[in-house]
Amino acid sequence: MLLNQEIDLLESKIDKLFDLQKRHSISLRKSTVHERLGHIKRLREWVLSHKEDIQKALYADYRKPYTETDITEIYPVLSEAKHFISNLAHWMKSKRMPTPLTFLGTKAQTQYEPKGASLIIAPWNYPFNLAIGPLVAALGAGCTAIVKPSEMTPHTSALIRRMIGELFDEQMVAVVEGGVEASQLLLSKPFDHLFFTGSPAVGKIVMKAAAEHLTSVTLELGGKSPAIIAEDANLKDAAEKIAATKFLNCGQTCIAPDYVFIPNSKRDPFLQYVKEAIDSMYKSGKKGIEKSPDYSRIVNERHFNRIMHLLQDASEKGAKIEIGGKSIPEENLLEPTVLVDINPTMLVMQEEIFGPILPVMVYENLEQALALVNEMPKPLALYAFSNSSRTIRHIFEQTSSGASVANDCALHFLHPELPFGGVNNSGIGKSHGVFGFLEFSNQKAVLEQRIGFTAAKPLFPPYNMAKKKMIEGLLKWF
Ligand code: NAD
Q: How confident is the model at residue 459 (pLDDT cuts 50, 70, 90)?
A: confident
**Pairwise CA distance, residues 166 & 43, whole Å:** 10
Q: Is 202 in the pocket of ligand 1 (CB under 6 A)?
A: yes
pLDDT at 389 exceeding the cut of 80: yes
CB-CB contact of 373 with 353 (8 Å):
no
pLDDT of res. 103: 86
Region class of 332: left (phi > 0), else alpha (psi between -120 and 50), else beta? left
Examine the residue annotation and report whether 316 is marked as an active-site residue of this protein: no
The vertex-353 CA angle with 375 and 415, nearest 5°, equals 85
Smallest CA separation from ligand 1 atom 14, residue: 180
Domain boundaries, the chain: 4-221+429-442, 226-421
* Beta-sheet strands, E only, within 200-352: 216-220, 226-229, 259-263, 320-323, 327-328, 333-334, 337-340
**Pairwise CA distance, residues 256 & 354, whole Å:** 8
**Pairwise CA distance, residues 25 & 138, whole Å:** 11
**Pairwise CA distance, residues 112 & 438, whole Å:** 8
Fold of 226-421: Aldehyde Dehydrogenase; Chain A, domain 2 (3.40.309)
- The kind and range of the H/E element at 392 are helix 389-398
Mean pLDDT, residues 161-181 taken together: 97
Q: Is 148 in the pocket of ligand 1 (CB under 6 A)?
A: yes
The vertex-206 CA angle with 201 and 212, nearest 5°, equals 135
Q: How confident is the model at residue 168 (pLDDT cuts 50, 70, 90)?
A: very high
408-439 burial by CB neighbour count: b if 16+ within 10 A, else e? ebbebbeebeebbbbbebbbbbbbbbbbbbbb
pLDDT of res. 216: 98
pLDDT of res. 104: 85
Mean pLDDT, residues 375-388 taken together: 98
Q: What is the mean pLDDT of the chain?
A: 96
* Whether residue 462 has a cis bond before it, omega within 30° of 0: yes
Q: Is 198 in the pocket of ligand 1 (CB under 6 A)?
A: yes
**Pairwise CA distance, residues 135 & 119, whole Å:** 9
Distance, CA of 125 to chain centre:
11
Q: Is 179 in the pocket of ligand 1 (CB under 6 A)?
A: yes
How far away, in angstroms, is 242 Cα from ligand 1 center?
24
Catalytic one of 68, 73, 220, 335: 220
- Please classify residue 338 by burial: count the beta carbons closer than 10 Å to its beta carbon, then call 0-12 exposed, 13-18 middle and 19+ buried: buried
Catalytic one of 68, 143, 250, 254: 254
Enter the pTM of the model: 0.95
- Please classify residue 149 by burial: count the beta carbons closer than 10 Å to its beta carbon, then call 0-12 exposed, 13-18 middle and 19+ buried: buried
Q: How confident is the model at residue 455 (pLDDT cuts 50, 70, 90)?
A: low
How far away, in angstroms, is 201 Cα from ligand 1 center?
8
**Pairwise CA distance, residues 275 & 281, whole Å:** 10
Q: How confident is the model at residue 1 (pLDDT cuts 50, 70, 90)?
A: confident
**Pairwise CA distance, residues 379 & 254, whole Å:** 10
> If we measure between CA atoms, which residue out of 132, 150, 376, 355 comes closest to residue 254?
355
Examine the residue annotation and report whether 35 is marked as an active-site residue of this protein: no
How far away, in angstroms, is 229 Cα from ligand 1 center?
30
- The kind and range of the H/E element at 160 are helix 154-167
pLDDT of res. 453: 62
How far away, in angstroms, is 197 Cα from ligand 1 center?
6
**Pairwise CA distance, residues 436 & 96, whole Å:** 21
How far away, in angstroms, is 272 Cα from ligand 1 center?
34
pLDDT at 264 exceeding the cut of 70: yes
Atom of ligand 1 lying closest to residue 422 CA: 41
Distances (CA, A) of 72 to 127, 410, 411: 10, 11, 11
Q: Let me know if domain 4-221+429-442 sits in CATH 3.40.605.10.
A: yes
Please state whether beta strands 381-385 and 403-406 pair in parallel, antiparallel, or not at all (unpaired): parallel
pLDDT at 454 exceeding the cut of 70: no
Q: Is 130 in the pocket of ligand 1 (CB under 6 A)?
A: yes
Smallest CA separation from ligand 1 atom 31, residue: 199
pLDDT at 402 exceeding the cut of 80: yes
pLDDT of res. 450: 85
Q: How confident is the model at residue 447 (pLDDT cuts 50, 70, 90)?
A: very high
| pLDDT tens digits for range 329-350 | 999 999 999 999 999 999 999 9
> If we measure between CA atoms, which residue out of 200, 225, 219, 197 comes closest to residue 353?
225
Q: Is 433 in the pocket of ligand 1 (CB under 6 A)?
A: no
> If we measure between CA atoms, which residue out of 117, 113, 134 comes closest to residue 189?
117
**Pairwise CA distance, residues 473 & 478, whole Å:** 10
Sequence-distant (6+) residues with CB within 8 A of 282 are 247, 289, 292, 294, 295, 336
In order, the DSSP letters of 416-477 are: TTS-B---BTTEES-BSHHHHHHHTEEEEEEEEE-SSS-TTGGGSSS--HHHHHHHHHHHHH
Candidate from 1, 2, 185, 197 with most ligand 1 atoms within 8 A of CB, to mutate: 197
Q: Is 191 in the pocket of ligand 1 (CB under 6 A)?
A: no
How far away, in angstroms, is 325 Cα from ligand 1 center?
26
Distances (CA, A) of 257 to 152, 228, 302, 396: 23, 9, 22, 16
Mean pLDDT, residues 459-478 taken together: 89
pLDDT of res. 284: 78
For the chain, the distance separating the N- and C-terminal CA atoms, rounded to the nearest angstrom, is: 62
Smallest CA separation from ligand 1 atom 15, residue: 180
pLDDT at 275 exceeding the cut of 90: yes
How far away, in angstroms, is 219 Cα from ligand 1 center?
10
Candidate from 72, 254, 378, 432 with most ligand 1 atoms within 8 A of CB, to mutate: 254
pLDDT of res. 75: 97
Smallest CA separation from ligand 1 atom 30, residue: 198
How far away, in angstroms, is 198 Cα from ligand 1 center?
3
Instruction: Provide the residue type at 288 as one letter.
Output: G
pLDDT at 34 exceeding the cut of 80: yes
Distances (CA, A) of 333 to 62, 79, 257, 286, 298: 10, 31, 20, 18, 6
pLDDT at 282 exceeding the cut of 90: yes
**Pairwise CA distance, residues 194 & 145, whole Å:** 9
Instruction: Provide the residue type at 227 as one letter.
Output: A
